[in-house]
Structure 1
Amino acid sequence: MNQDEALTAEEVARLLKVSRGTVYALKDKGELPSFLVGRKLRFTRKAVQEYIERDQPLGENPGREVPFVTAAHQPESFVICGQDIILDALSNYMNQAGVPSLRSYVGSYDALTALYKDEVQLASSHLWDGETDTYNVPFVRRLLPGVPAVVVNLTYRTQGFYVAKGNPLGLKTWEDLARPGIRIVNREKGAGSRILLDEHLRTAGINPQELEGYDNEVQSHIAVASTVARGRADVAVGSEKIARQVDGLDFVPLQKERYDLVFKKKDIDTRPVRALMGILETGILKEEFSSLGGYDTTNMGKIMWMG
C-alpha cells in the first residue's frame, strides 16, 4: 500500500473510528499532518499510521471501544452497531434514503447484547461457534433469549494471521501460537476475532494463559496489525482487508467468515428495515464493495436464519 496515498477526512475518520469533526480537530492541533489539493483537505496514509503508532488518546478513542450511540440518546435514529467500514457506507445509504442513521463502533458480542437491550436497532456479527462450526445463529439464540430475530448476510471475509513480511516464524496453524517464544497481541473480549481465537484454542486444548501476550488487548483490526508491523508482537488475528492497508505485513488465511446483520423480527415491516433490505437487495452497496479486496458480497441481502 502506497503510504503517500491521499485520504479524505471521511476515510481517515473510518480508519480511526471517529467523527470527521475529530479528524479536523486533530489537524487543527497539529497532531495529524494534512495538505490541500486545490481546496480539498487530504491526509497521507503514512501520517495516519504514524498517529496510530504514537498511541495518543483521542476524545473518541480510536482503536479502543467507542461508547454506544444508542436509541435512548437519539430516539428518532436507526443505530447500526459494528466496526467494519462497510457499515459506514450502509449508514450513509440509509441517510440518503431518508432514514436518520447513527453508528456505534463496538464488537459483535456487545452489538448483540445492545440489540437485546434495545440500545441499537441493527447489530453486525461474525461470531464463530466451535461446537457447531457455524456463524452467528448460535450466539443470536444465546444473547437474544426469547427474542425472535432475523439474520441477513452482509458479506464474507477471510480471517487469519497478521505476521511480519515473509512470515519469518512460519506461523501457519492455530497450534503454532502455542510455540515457545511466540508473542501475540489480542483483540478485546467480545470482538469476533477474539472469539474466533478463543474457540480455536479451546478446541485445540490450548490454555490461552500460556500464550505470551494473550492479555495484551487492543480494540481494532488496524491497531493489532500496526502492533505486529512495528515488531511489538509476532502475530495477531484479523481480517485480510486490513493486512493490505498496513506496510510490513503478510497475511496467513485461515478461515472464511460470515459477516451478518441482525435485527428483531418485530421490526421487519418498519420503514428503517424496509429501507435497509432495499439497499441490500438493489445492489448499490454490493457494487461498491464487490470490487474491493477482502469482501465477498455474493449473498448480500440473503436471509440466513429467522427465528
Structure 2
Amino acid sequence: MTTDISYTTEEISKLLKISKLTVYDLIKKGELSAYRVGKQMRVDASDLEAYKIRAKGGKVYASMPDIPVQQLAQPTLTSKKDIVITGQDVSLDILSKHIERKLTSYRPLRSYVGSLDSLISMYKGESDIVSTHLLDGDTGQYNLPYIRRLLTGNSYVVINLVSRMAGLYVPQGNPKQLQGWDDLKQPGLRVSNREKGSGARVLLDEQLRLRGISPRILSGYGQEESNHMGVAGKVASGEADFGVGIEKAASMVGGVTFIPLIQERYDLVMLKKPENAEWLESVIAILQSNVFQNELRPIQGYDLSQTGQILFEN
C-alpha cells in the first residue's frame, strides 16, 4: 500500500527532479513532512502526494520534468541562501546558531552524517561545512590524509573546531578489565559498534588493523548504532562489553566508565570557491571569536587550545 512506502531525501530529489538541498529546504520550511529514522530523513508516500497536490494547486510544478533543475533549485531574491553543515556534535549546533545570527542572509541547515560521508557529500557538492574526526593509523594523523585523498583537485581550508578524548566505554566496574586497544584480543568480547564511515568506527577499525585483530572475533561487530549515546547505552544495559566513543557521551549515560585512549581532532573543512567567499571569512571569524569559544568552554571533554586555528589551506 502507498501508506507503507517511504522515501529518502535522495529518492525524493530524483522523483521531483530537484536538488537534495531544495528537498531539505522544503522540509525545513514545513512544506514537506518528514521524520528521522536513525541518521536518515524519510518522507512517507502519502505526504509526498499531498505536497505535489498543494504545489500544483499553487502553480509550483516542482515535479514536472520540463522545468530545468537549475530553475527549480535557484532561490528567489528574497529567500535566504543555505549553508549545509554536516556532523553530529553539539558544537555544530552552537556554530549554526552563531552563523544564523551573524549572517542574516544565510540559513544553516544541519545534516547528521558521519565523517567519511561528510567528506563524500562535499566532494559531490551537497554540503558546505563538513566536520571530520578520522584517524589514519599509518601516519597517526587526524583528518588531513583523508581530506587530501577525497577532495583532490579542490581548494579548501581545514580549521579546528575542538579536540576531545576518545576511548572505550565499558560497564561500571570494568568486568573485562579492558585498559587499552591490545585488550581487544581477549576472546568472547561483545562490541557495540558505530556505522561505517563514522569517526569512531574508523578509529576502532584502524586500531584492530594495526594490531592484527580480526573484527570477526568481536560479537556484535556488524550491528551498528548511529551515535555515541546509542553505543554507550548498549554498554550500560549489559548488551555489550565495550564500545568506542567520546568522553562527553559517557558522562551522560549512567552505568558507563570511560577509558581515555587518544585525543582526537574534530576539524571543519570548507571549500574555497567564489560562491563561498561571501560567508567563509565570517565563519572563520566566528570560530576564532571569544563569544563562540566561551559558549563551548563549559562543555565537558572539549579542548579549545586549537579552536579556530587554520591547520591547512591550499
Q: Which structure 2 residue ranges, 5 or more long, are not aligned? A: 1-26, 28-33, 43-71, 76-80
Matching of residue 60 in structure 1 with residue 36 in structure 2: yes
**Aligned-pair Cα RMSD in Å:** 2.2
In structure 1, the residue corresponding to 2:253 is in which secondary structure?
Answer: coil
1:146 shift after superposition: 1.3
1:106 shift after superposition: 0.2
Q: Hey, what does 1:92 align to over in structure 2?
A: 97
Matching of residue 155 in structure 1 with residue 129 in structure 2: no
For the 8 Å contact 1:184–1:235, the answer to whether it is kept is: yes
In structure 1, the residue corresponding to 2:139 is in which secondary structure?
Answer: coil
Q: Percent identity?
A: 44
1:65 shift after superposition: 2.0
Match of 1:230 among 229, 237, 253: 237
1:269 shift after superposition: 6.3
Match of 1:109 among 101, 111, 116: 116
For the 8 Å contact 1:267–1:273, the answer to whether it is kept is: no
In 2, Cα distance between equivalents of 1:132 and 1:239: 21
Q: Which has the larger radius of gyration?
A: 2
1:297 shift after superposition: 1.0
Q: Which structure 1 residue ranges, 5 or more long, are not aligned? A: 1-20, 22-57
In structure 1, the residue corresponding to 2:286 is in which secondary structure?
Answer: helix
Task: Please show how residues 158-237 of structure 1 align to structure 2 within 5 Å.
Answer: 158-237=165-244
1:172-199 CA distances to partner (integer Å, 9 max, x unpaired)? 1112122112100110000000000101
1:197-256 CA distances to partner (integer Å, 9 max, x unpaired)? 101111111111221111111110000011111111110000001100001111000000
One-letter amino acid of the counterpart of residue 142, structure 1:
R
In 1, Cα distance between equivalents of 2:285 and 2:127: 20
Q: Hey, what does 1:297 align to over in structure 2?
A: 304
In 2, Cα distance between equivalents of 1:107 and 1:267: 27
1:94/1:110 Cα in 2 relative to 1: closer, same or farther (>3 Å)? same
In structure 1, the residue corresponding to 2:258 is in which secondary structure?
Answer: strand
1:67 shift after superposition: 4.1
In 2, Cα distance between equivalents of 1:298 and 1:273: 22
